[in-house]
């Protein structure tokens, strides 16, 4: 147990670091808080308070028509669709690919149990909306009756309560030496959790530390992480071994080695409430930044909407002015002189009920007047309409995202042009997803560094494979059924990287779609890969159908777990079939090449026709001639395709005939051999 003097030093060190980091990050956090508030539905979010008050008192409209949310959702959801996967790479003689796969499966299980996707999505969404988010890694006991621990990845819902080392410059925060997270607890909750502690807020002013707090009031506690370094001198012996330095011993090399450990403290204003050690050497609070920039050595971080807020305010202003002008237009559609329609007031108030609208041709003074006339509908100044449209373009330009980026129709007509425009928008915001990947890579480093300390006993773990299948493995000396060797997670060094792409479910859907399209073109292939088609389907009974298909498919197309003894005759027959299949594959490849040429030619002519459609009639005639030639070429290619298909069918029949002949020969030989055996032998 630490002494009171040492505890006081830790609290003071935490408070000093908190004040220093808060001063450094204060401006960034203020802007981030303003960005988050700007996207809320509060009426004051996108209007200046004084202007809003003045408009309200004058009865003028102050509309808020959000244009930014669609772009935020587009970027955030694009990131969600590209699921990041942590890969583990062995590094060193004590490492192995098999252990790396086990460690990767363990991390996937940690992500699954922790619902890490939610932590990643929350952090990236906060970085898009407000410029920064955080991911938290924790360690805890597996359950209340065990001493075994496990790692978890949890989400941070309020990133503005975390203050990371102001000296950190890495985009993933891997160089941070301290971090602090502030949490507010009701006094009653504080006393229940820490019954022996006084409810004193962390980093509170001195004059407030002795104040008696009521149960409904709040007290701030801090979770403080700091890295401590222990130094020791080591030397390299003549045989290449590293040893702790001893006086009088000769070494080929000598150096001072620093060992890091991460201390975790839960602090109130005057005492340490909890004290533990986080495994590994990294601070387990990982920042996810938005758009980062350094100006004269000072860090700036921008959200997606930071530079678009003025354009959004201007859009609200023009739309409010447009509404205000329309409100001032007369709403009565008919203009009539006084006294001309009063006698028929009910008819004019409900003209749909009257077959005839009557009026008096004289006014109240008896003078003859013209008949009532319909007023023109209210007009909107075109300048205001054009200004509102221009501000929408300003919003898009400030983000680098245009209509095609969010799925809207544009003036592009071809799919290629639309995809290129969409890709431009994705590239303009690529740094948000890329920064998340870098942060998740650091999450992988933290886990790899902590796993040898947390999973340090012999036990059975559940891991999750590439195809989301769960299985158990024994580690550190423990074995499970059918496991050939144990995996020691305490040895070896491993690196991490993150790969983004579609989830396994999406890949399976794509595989099902691919197999379906192949079978539609070549129905006979159902007898070769029908089991794979149904394995990737999601409807009820698909897996049972896949097992049935395996029974009718030639066993040579199925993967066998054990090698069987092969009869020479059968092996020779398999060679014949294999040669025929290779020829079929070559012919199939030639057919695909012809089909690709056909598709390329059609795409080329389509683009050319679109480019030339506004030119002179002579060019149109030339295009028509080229299209006719293309049609002729297409028919020629189709003819070749059909000939190839017929050749494959003939080859298939030939292979089947040869196989049948060999089977008949084998049966004949077997029957002859049986007839030659003397009876009773």
Q: Is residue 313 within 8 Å of residue 353, measured between CB atoms?
A: no
Would you state the structure tokens that stand for residue 493, as one six-digit string? 């060094």
- Number of helices (H) and strands (E), helices first, in the chain? 16, 17
The CB-side HSE value for 598 (13 A sphere, CA atoms) comes to: 17
pLDDT band of residue 129 (cuts 50, 70, 90) is: very high
Same domain, 204 and 106: yes
pLDDT at 414 over 60: no
Angstrom CA distances, 517 to 511, 514, 522, 637, stand at 10, 5, 9, 20
Which tens digits make up the pLDDT trace of 491-522?
888 999 887 765 545 555 666 676 677 667 66
What confidence score (pLDDT) does residue 681 get? 45
On whether residue 435 sits in a domain, the answer given is no
Pairing of strands 149-155, 178-186: unpaired
| Residue 567: pLDDT over 60 | no
State the CB neighbour count (10 A cutoff) for residue 15: 18
Look at residue 381 and tell me if it is in a domain.
no
Q: Say which residue, 223 or 511, is predicted with more confidence.
A: 223
Are residues 513 and 609 located together in one domain of the fold? Answer: no
> Binning pLDDT at 50, 70 and 90, where does residue 36 land?
very high
Q: Is the pLDDT of residue 426 over 80?
A: no
Query: Would you give the DSSP letter of residue 554?
Result: -
565 pLDDT more than 60:
no
User: SS3 of 58, please?
Assistant: helix
**Are 644 and 516 contained in the same domain?**
no
Helix, strand, or coil (residue 267): strand
SS (H, E, C) 527-545: HHHHHHHHHCCCCCCHHHH
Do 593 and 540 fall within a single domain?
no
- Cβ burial, residue 402 (10 Å; 0-12/13-18/19+): middle
Taking residues 365-377, what's their average pLDDT?
82
Q: Give the pLDDT band of residue 123 (cuts 50, 70, 90).
A: very high
Tell whether the model's pLDDT for residue 115 goes beyond 80: yes
Least confident of 16-20, 457-461, 548-552: 548-552
Say if 660 falls within a structural domain. yes
Note the pLDDT of residue 562.
37
Q: Are 514 and 578 in a shared domain?
A: no
Contact 304, 432 (CB under 8 A): yes
Distance (Å) of CA 64 to CA 50, 52, 304, 309, 385: 16, 11, 19, 12, 16
How many separate domains does the chain show? 3
Confidence at 602, pLDDT banded by 50, 70, 90: low
566 band by pLDDT with thresholds 50, 70 and 90? very low
> Are 310 and 376 within 8 A, CB to CB?
no
> What average pLDDT does the chain have?
81
Is 529 contained in some domain? yes
pLDDT higher than 80, residue 669:
no
Q: Say which DSSP state 447 is in.
A: H
Specify the DSSP class assigned to residue 464.
Answer: E
Higher pLDDT: 258 or 434? It is 434
Residue 560 pLDDT? 45
pLDDT mean over 289-299: 92
If phi > 0 it is left, if psi is from -120 to 50 it is alpha, else beta; for residue 297 that is left
- Would you say residue 314 has pLDDT above 90? yes
The answer, yes or no, to whether residue 188 has pLDDT greater than 60, is yes
For 368, which DSSP code?
B
Q: Residue range 456-474: average pLDDT?
A: 87
Q: What is the pLDDT of residues 625-649, one digit of tens each?
A: 777 777 777 777 777 777 777 777 7
Looking at the domain assignment, is residue 170 inside a domain?
A: yes
Residue 268 has pLDDT above 50, yes or no: yes
Which pLDDT band, with edges at 50, 70 and 90, does 207 fall under? Answer: very low
Q: Which residues pair with 236 in a beta bridge?
A: 242, 253
**Residues 519 and 581 reside in one and the same domain:** no
Pairing of strands 291-295, 162-164: unpaired
pTM for this one? 0.69
**Which pLDDT score, from 0 to 100, does residue 563 have?**
40
| pLDDT band at residue 134 under the 50/70/90 scheme | very high
Q: How confident is the model at residue 603 (pLDDT cuts 50, 70, 90)?
A: low
For residues 488 and 566, the model is more confident at 488
What's the per-residue H, E or C state across 585-636? Answer: HHHHHHHHHHHHHHHHHHHHHHHHHHHHCCCCHHHHHHHHHHHHHHHHHHHH
Nearest CA to 152 out of 109, 201, 193, 198 is that of 109
Beta strands in 144-217 (DSSP E): 149-155, 162-164, 178-186
Q: Is the pLDDT of residue 211 over 70?
A: no
In 3D space, the residue among 185, 277, 276, 264 whose CA is nearest the CA of residue 223 turns out to be 264
Indicate whether 362 pLDDT > 80: yes
Residue 411: predicted pLDDT: 55
543, 591: one domain = no
**What pLDDT digit, counting tens, does each position of 2-31 carry?**
678 889 999 999 999 999 999 999 999 999
Q: What is the mean pLDDT of residues 418-424?
A: 56
User: pLDDT exceeding 70 applies to what percent of the chain?
Assistant: 76
| 32 pLDDT above the threshold of 70 | yes
- What 3-state class would DSSP assign to 257? strand
How far apart are alpha carbons 445 and 88 in whole angstroms? 9
Shared domain for 140 and 196, answered yes or no, is yes
What average pLDDT score do residues 402-424 get? Answer: 55
* Band (564; pLDDT cuts 50, 70, 90): very low
Q: Is residue 624 part of a domain?
A: yes
Confidence band, pLDDT 50/70/90 cuts, at residue 289: very high
> How crowded is residue 565: how many other Cβ atoms within 10 Å of its Cβ?
4
84 neighbors 436 (Cβ within 8 angstroms) = yes
pLDDT at 245 > cutoff 70 = yes
Residue given tokens 């071809």 in the structure block: 414
pLDDT for the residue numbered 435: 94
Mean pLDDT of 53-65: 90
Say what the pLDDT of residue 273 is. 95
Any domain includes 453: no
Does 272 score more than 50 pLDDT?
Answer: yes
Q: What is the mean pLDDT of residues 165-180?
A: 95
Residues 548 and 641 in one domain: no
Q: Is residue 350 part of a domain?
A: no
pLDDT (0 to 100) of residue 144: 76
Helix (H, G, I), strand (E, B) or coil at 427: helix
Q: What is the pLDDT of residue 385?
A: 86
Is the model's pLDDT at 127 over the cut of 80? yes
146 and 291 fall within a common domain: yes
Instruction: Tell me: do 214 and 127 sit in the same domain.
Output: yes
In this prediction, residue 541 has a pLDDT band, given cuts at 50, 70 and 90, of: low
Which has the higher per-residue pLDDT, 478 or 591? Answer: 478
The domain boundary, picked from 286, 304, 322, lies at: 304
Structural domain including 112 reads 4-234+253-304
Interatomic CA distance for residues 505 and 80, integer angstroms? 14
Residue 484 in this model has a pLDDT that exceeds 50: yes
- Main-chain phi, psi angles of 4, to 5 degrees: -60, -35
Looking at the structure, do residues 28 and 172 belong to the same domain, yes or no? yes
Please say which residue of 528, 557, 586 terminates a domain: 557
Return the pLDDT at 24: 94
């Amino acid at each position: 147990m630490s002494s009171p003097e040492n505890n006081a030093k830790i609290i003071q060190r935490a408070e000093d670091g908190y004040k220093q980091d808060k001063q450094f990050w204060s401006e960034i956090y203020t802007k981030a808080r303003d960005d988050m508030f700007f996207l809320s539905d509060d009426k004051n979010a996108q209007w200046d308070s004084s202007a809003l008050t003045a408009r309200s008192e004058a009865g003028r409209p102050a509309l808020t028509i959000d244009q930014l949310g669609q772009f935020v959702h587009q970027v955030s959801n694009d990131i969600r669709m590209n699921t990041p996967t942590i890969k583990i790479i062995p590094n060193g003689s004590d490492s192995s690919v098999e252990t790396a796969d086990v460690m990767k499966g363990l991390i996937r299980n940690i992500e699954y149990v922790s619902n890490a996707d939610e932590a990643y999505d929350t952090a990236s969404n906060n970085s898009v909306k407000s410029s920064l988010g955080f991911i938290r890694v924790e360690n805890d006991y597996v359950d209340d009756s065990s001493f075994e621990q496990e790692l978890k990845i949890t989400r941070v819902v309020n990133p503005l309560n975390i203050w990371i080392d102001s000296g950190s410059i890495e985009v993933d925060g891997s160089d941070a030496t301290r971090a602090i997270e502030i949490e507010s607890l009701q006094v009653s909750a504080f006393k229940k959790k820490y019954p022996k502690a006084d409810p004193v807020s962390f980093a509170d002013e001195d004059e407030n530390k002795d104040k008696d707090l009521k149960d409904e009031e709040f007290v701030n506690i801090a979770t403080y992480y700091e890295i401590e370094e222990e130094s020791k001198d080591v030397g390299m012996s003549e045989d290449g071994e590293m040893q702790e330095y001893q006086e009088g011993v000769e070494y080929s090399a000598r150096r001072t080695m620093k060992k890091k450990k991460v201390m975790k403290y839960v602090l109130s204003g005057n005492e340490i409430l909890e004290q533990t050690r986080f495994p590994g050497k990294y601070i387990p609070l990982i920042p996810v930044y938005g758009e980062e920039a350094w100006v004269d050595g000072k860090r700036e971080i921008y959200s997606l909407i930071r530079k678009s807020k003025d354009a959004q305010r201007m859009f609200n202003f023009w739309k409010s002015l447009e509404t205000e002008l329309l409100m001032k237009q007369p709403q009565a559609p008919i203009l009539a002189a006084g006294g001309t329609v009063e006698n028929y007031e009910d008819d004019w108030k409900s003209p749909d009920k009257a077959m005839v609208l009557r009026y008096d041709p004289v006014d109240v003074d008896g003078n003859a007047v013209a008949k009532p006339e319909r007023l023109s509908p209210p007009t909107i100044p075109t300048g205001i309409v054009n200004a509102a449209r221009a501000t929408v373009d300003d919003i898009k330009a400030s983000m680098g995202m245009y209509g095609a980026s969010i799925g809207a129709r544009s003036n592009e007509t071809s799919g290629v042009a639309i995809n290129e425009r969409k890709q431009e928008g994705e590239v303009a915001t690529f740094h948000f997803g890329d920064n998340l990947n870098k942060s998740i890579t650091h999450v992988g480093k933290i886990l790899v560094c902590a796993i040898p300390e947390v999973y340090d006993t012999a036990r059975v773990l559940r891991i999750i494979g590439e195809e989301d299948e769960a299985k158990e493995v024994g580690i550190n000396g423990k074995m499970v059924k059918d496991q050939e060797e144990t995996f020691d997670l305490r040895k070896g060094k491993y690196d991490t990287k993150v790969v983004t792409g579609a989830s396994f479910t999406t890949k399976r859907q794509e595989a099902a779609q691919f197999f379906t399209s192949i079978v539609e073109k070549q129905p006979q292939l159902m007898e070769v890969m029908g089991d794979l088609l149904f394995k990737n389907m999601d409807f009820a009974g698909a897996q049972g159908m896949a097992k049935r298909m395996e029974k009718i498919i030639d066993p040579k197309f199925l993967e066998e777990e054990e090698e069987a003894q092969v009869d020479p005759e059968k092996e020779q027959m398999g060679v014949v079939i294999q040669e025929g299949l290779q020829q079929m594959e070559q012919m199939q490849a030639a057919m695909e090449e012809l089909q690709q040429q056909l598709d390329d030619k059609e795409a080329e002519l389509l683009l050319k026709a679109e480019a030339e459609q506004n030119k002179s009639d002579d060019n149109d005639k030339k295009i028509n001639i080229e299209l006719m030639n293309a049609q002729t070429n297409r028919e020629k290619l189709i003819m070749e395709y059909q000939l190839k298909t017929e050749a494959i069918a003939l080859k298939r029949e030939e292979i089947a005939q040869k196989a049948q002949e060999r089977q008949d020969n084998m049966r004949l030989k077997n029957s002859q051999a049986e007839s030659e055996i003397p009876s009773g032998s």
